[in-house]
Amino acid sequence: MLKKTLTLLLLVLSFTLHSKVINENPKKVFGSSPPMNYLIYAINPSKMVGLNFYANNINNNADVKFLKQSFLELPVIGSFPGSGQGINLETIIKHNPDLILIWEDVYFYKRVEEQIRKAQIPSITIPFRKIESMPSSILTAAKAMNEHKRGKILSDYTKERIEYIKNMLQELEPVKYYYAEGADGLATECSDSMHVEALNFAGGENVHKCTQSNLKGLERISFETLVGYDPQVIIAQNRLVYNTILSNPLWKHLQAVKNKRVYVVPSTPFNWIDRPPSFMRIIGIEWLAHNFHPTHYKNDIYTQIAKFYKLFLDVELTQEQIYQIIGEKE
């Protein structure tokens, strides 16, 4: 309780400090990172002035069927150290945003804050790593964007779904999982990595227990190490890794493969759990809980997916599309 209270106070303090310079009704908003850009999209896409990454990339299936054309056509107007292209303040200033959302959970966010301060652009810092912080973070971002009603709707829904998963997991033993990345599936994440927050929250236990050794993660392991772990479930970061696992005869010795418990993370329109760790994790934790603990997850996962897409992306999914998104139909 004390920890939650302190977190709330820090959020309020952060908002208060920044709010002195924030336009009360910002019309143009920019995000310092992919998670913040996606969050702005969920709150009000018409206020976006640009992206700091390419909308279509190897980690997603961004498509006009699931996203607004205006989003897909947004210019890339600036990135920040550690996120690819290097900072481009001049371009950001040229687009004159009223507000920038800064993602708090990256190692270099202080440098981002400093650069934005030099440019005298109003900003607010948002934590978005921890699953349980998402409802309050959504609310804070929406308030800063003067989208109070929308923020409350999204925040309330997120809180309700998080509570459902937490209650479902009470007294359940975690399922031991391996998160397979890289072309050969032998890159993974340490148990304390931000890249596996959703997997850990949804009732999983990472078999690779270590401390992240670099900024990007993607720790290499040997196949012999993986055999020693022998996970109950394998979560493949993308379709390429998934196909590698199922086609390589060596992997068939693992119990997860023998028991047909290998799953590929949905990535339409954005990855559901990682790279980036965005609001899509709200449906990601449901999908993971459904696969980790199929006899205890009592909701209709198809219905939950449809609800989530309608609420956050304003998309009415057909049953056929849901099957395709979660890989039940090619």
Q: Is residue 62 part of a domain?
A: yes
Provide the 8-state DSSP code for 173.
Answer: P
Q: Is residue 254 part of a domain?
A: yes
Question: 95-137, pLDDT tens digit by residue?
Answer: 999 999 999 887 777 777 887 888 888 999 999 999 999 999 9
Based on the fold, state whether residues 308 and 258 are members of the same structural domain: yes
Residues linked to residue 31 through DSSP beta bridges, in sequence order: 101
CATH of the domain at 103: 3.40.50.1980
24 pLDDT band, cuts 50/70/90, is confident
* Domain end among 119, 148, 166: 166
Based on the fold, state whether residues 125 and 232 are members of the same structural domain: no
- Extended strands (E) in 219-272: 219-220, 233-236, 262-264
Give the domain extent around 53: 29-166
Question: 159-194, pLDDT tens digit by residue?
Answer: 999 999 999 999 999 999 999 999 999 999 999 999
20 pLDDT band, cuts 50/70/90, is very low
Based on the fold, state whether residues 141 and 227 are members of the same structural domain: no
| pTM of the full structure | 0.89
Residue 87, classed as helix, strand or coil, is strand
Q: What is the pLDDT of residue 7?
A: 47
Q: Is residue 292 part of a domain?
A: yes
Cα 213 to chain centroid distance, Å, stands at 21
* Domain end among 137, 166, 195: 166
Q: Domain total for the chain?
A: 2
